Amino acid sequence: MAKSTKSTPADGRNGAAQLPSVIVTSYNLEARDEDGFVGDKARRGAIFEHLEELRAAFRETGEDPIDKPSDELKKKDLDAILAGDDAEAAALVHSAIEKYAEALASVVRRFCRFKAWSAVERIVVGGGFRQSRVGELAIGRAGIILRTEQHPVELVPIRHDPDEAGLLGNAHIAPKWMFEAFDSLVAVDIGGSNIRAGIVELRQTKAIDLSKAKVATFELWRHADDTTNRDEAVERLGEMIRSQIEAAEKAALKVAPFIGIGCPGIIQPDGSIDRGAQNLPGNWESSRFNLIDSVRETVPTIGEHETMVTMHNDAVIQGLSEMPFMQDVKNWGVVTIGTGLGNASYENRAKSSKRS
């Protein structure tokens, strides 16, 4: 099993390497080069940095066709430029996409040098960046770069909306016995900018492998826009969970006494966070704080049963949403492009039939 630079996935109930359908062979890899963390080159903000470099050079020889400062641009602004009539502005954005794609391809090459990634055949790309046209083009271009180099890995965009993928993956960490009496579960996705809580409807009568599972309802809170601290964030999360459970019960769903949580960082067996949660409000890595215990305290029961809470790394969870569709390969991975670059690799536990 490959290691991150300081830790390996834990073998406990939280942050477990052995999951019902896959082995998590690595996550939260922290590869470095002379410039620092390799993953930072492919975080969401990197494309705006590339664009500003291009614009700065452009301004030295002519007029900048983009009016808005680069640090005020959003993904939707870049999408609008690509779809607009200003060919010069669109060409600048395409040039930034090319630079970003080269960086993403270089990150994939670096990850594939790790033992756990050396056998990876397909990489799913998720995260908020994938929701934009500029993100889709960058991911597609990075895949073409790798293919033209005859690199033996396929790059594909995540099929679910990233807002939902980080919730759906929790169905694949839940114990199988829960599926016998319940048709839905509570899922939480904690990220550097947003916190989501929702209800995943399993829909096992449509597909036993959970490929037809869907998010019945969810609430999103963009904590990055608010001035808040860790305790307030946990309290708000508890309110969101209770609201989702109430809505599910009104919709006649049988909610399992289970809450699955995806959270940044190295997740220890006891539910503490070793490191990697620096983008969350307050100190989530304190030895005096345990997110599992805090959530269980705020939601002690669901229905007539005591609540079971299980947590894993957020990239691991998002990648697991693709698990039913990865059965034609044995080893696969995920990178999630957001505030940072999340990553995980997997080995399917069931024997896979290889692609022809």
User: Which pLDDT belongs to residue 355?
Assistant: 43
Classify strands 184-190 and 195-201 as parallel, antiparallel or unpaired. Answer: antiparallel
User: Looking at the domain 162-318, which fold is it?
Assistant: Nucleotidyltransferase; domain 5 (3.30.420)
Other beta carbons within 10 Å of 285: 16
Q: What is the pLDDT of residues 256-271, one digit of tens each?
A: 999 999 999 999 999 9
The DSSP string of 24-48 is: EEEES---EETTEEGGGGGSTTHHH
User: Which pLDDT belongs to residue 354?
Assistant: 46
CA–CA separation, 128 and 165 (whole Å)? 11
User: Which pLDDT belongs to residue 82?
Assistant: 97
- Would you say the C-alpha torsion 40, 41, 44, 47 has a positive or negative sign? positive
What are the extents of the domains in the chain?
Answer: 30-119+128-156, 162-318
| Closest to 171 (Cα-Cα) out of 185, 188, 182, 190 | 185
Q: What is the pLDDT of residues 90-147, one digit of tens each?
A: 999 999 999 999 999 999 999 999 999 999 999 999 998 888 999 999 999 999 999 9
Q: Are the beta carbons of 186 and 258 closer than 8 angstroms? A: yes
CA–CA separation, 24 and 188 (whole Å)? 20
* Rounded mean pLDDT for each run of 10 residues along the chain, 356 residues in total: 40 81 93 71 91 93 92 95 96 96 94 94 93 94 96 93 94 88 96 94 94 96 92 96 96 96 94 89 93 95 94 96 96 92 92 46
User: Which pLDDT belongs to residue 36?
Assistant: 61
User: Which pLDDT belongs to residue 351?
Assistant: 55
CA 33 to chain centre: 23
Contacts of 269 (CB under 8 A, 6+ apart): 10, 11, 12, 13, 14, 15, 16
Three-class SS state of 256:
strand
Q: Are the beta carbons of 319 and 126 closer than 8 angstroms? A: yes
Provide the whole-model pTM.
0.89
Q: What is the DSSP letter of 236?
A: H
CA 145 to chain centre: 23
